[in-house]
Amino acid sequence: MAKKALVTGITGQDGAYLAQLLLEKGYEVHGLARRSSTSDVNLTRLEWLGIEREVRITDGDLLDLSGLVRTMQDVKPDEVYNLGAQSFVKSSWQQPILTGQVTGLGVTNVLEAVRLEKSDARFYQASSSEMYGLIQEPMQSETTPFYPRSPYAVAKLYGHWLTINYRESFGLHASSGILFNHESPLRGIEFVTRKVTDAVARIKLGMAKELRLGNIDAKRDWGHSKDYVRAMWMMLQQDVADDYVIATGRTTTVRDMCKIAFNHAGLNIDDHLIIDPVLFRPAEVDVLLGNPQKAKEKFGWEPKITLEEMIVEMVEADLKRLSK
């Protein structure tokens, strides 16, 4: 019998790559997706990977406990990956309550549905390095104290601790992956890497002249989504549930990440980049740098794709997309 997985957030970047990985491993993959009038475009990422017909989509919303309970009754998954969230940090100041409901309380809804209907299912929570915020140690690990700096990070911290609490209170096999930034050609256009690679492709093709950014001194530990979804799956294959940092151990400024993209396209960054104060955030996470040692020691996870390889892949994908 094939194992069954239920993935919330299947229409997002990680949902698509995780679904692909699970299908390759022989899983029956079910995905929760919000019903919308644009359902045809909603599956674009799954289509990009050519797997939209292999995934079984169920209508559902993280805010709707009864729907989640029904889905859990119908699917009876062996593994549940909770990737759904309002995931854009900047929007979380504009929509703090919605972010709290979806990104925070939504975790309670999924955990409750698991506890009530399939308590032996293994559960993965998509926690975030954003929870470290105003960093308390130069390199962040599972033992570094948190200091969230956005409504999004506060909501993620709630979900993180609730996952630990359900593991300790009810014995659920619930793990939390503290993932540092990870990107790919399927990254949403509002996130900085994809905003940059899309702009570079447009400038190269003569469709645009400038790129407007906010704080380019911010530093991030960037990896590739494909490497990171593999870590999610590996976590759930462990006998004992636990929490793990997933990162590359290298941090780079937004400015230097941009240079990789501009250089690849043979463009000079100084001819096109404009700093726009409107794009600065009310509170910034200046630097993130993760220590993935625990994941390496416990289950041998290591990233395979470098930042340079990833940015080049993204620029090429955007050139292809825009040339069509």
Closest CA to 251 of 225, 226, 286: 286
- Structure tokens given for 139: 């390199």
Q: Which is nearer to ligand NAP, 11 or 204 (CB)?
A: 11
Asked if 178 and 146 touch (Cβ cutoff 8 Å), the reply is no
Partner touching 220 among ligand GDD, ligand NAP, none, CB below 5 to 8 Å by kind: ligand GDD
Q: Is 190 in the site for ligand GDD (CB under 6 A)?
A: yes
Contact segment (CB under 6 A) with ligand GDD among 14-22, 26-34, 187-195, 199-207 equals: 187-195
The CA–CA distances, whole Å, from 156 to 145, 174, 295 equal 14, 15, 20
* CB-based burial label for 320 (10 Å; 0-12, 13-18, 19+): exposed
- Structure tokens given for 80: 């549940």
Q: Is 16 in the site for ligand GDD (CB under 6 A)?
A: no
Q: Which amino acid is at 252?
A: T
Q: Is 129 in the site for ligand GDD (CB under 6 A)?
A: yes
Please report, as ranges, the residues that interact with ligand NAP according to CB under 6 A: 8-9, 11-15, 34, 42, 61-63, 83-87, 102, 126, 128, 179, 181-182, 188
Q: Which is nearer to ligand NAP, 60 or 204 (CB)?
A: 60
The distance of closest approach from Cβ of residue 99 to ligand NAP in the complex, given in angstroms and rounded to an integer, is: 10
- Structure tokens given for 45: 């990422």
Q: Which is nearer to ligand GDD, 180 or 233 (CB)?
A: 180
Residue whose beta carbon is closest to ligand NAP? 12
Taking the mean position of all CA atoms in its chain, how far away is CA 93?
Answer: 19
Q: Is 214 in the site for ligand GDD (CB under 6 A)?
A: yes
**Residue of the chain from 22, 33, 72, 89 that contacts ligand GDD (CB under 6 A):** 89
Partner touching 157 among ligand GDD, ligand NAP, none, CB below 5 to 8 Å by kind: none
Q: Is 300 left (phi over 0), alpha (psi -120 to 50) or beta?
A: left
Buried b (16+ CB within 10 A) or exposed e, 202-220: bbbeeeeeebebbbbebbb
**Residue of the chain from 71, 144, 176, 181 that contacts ligand GDD (CB under 6 A):** 181
Q: Which is nearer to ligand NAP, 203 or 261 (CB)?
A: 261
Closest CA to 31 of 88, 99, 79: 79
- In three-state secondary structure terms, 223 is strand
Q: Is 192 in the site for ligand GDD (CB under 6 A)?
A: yes
CA distance linking residue 276 with residue 199, whole number of Å: 15
**Residue of the chain from 149, 167, 220, 230 that contacts ligand GDD (CB under 6 A):** 220
Query: Can you give the binding site for ligand GDD, defined by CB under 6 A?
Result: 87, 89, 128-130, 180-181, 190-192, 195, 213-216, 218, 220, 254, 279, 281, 284-285, 288
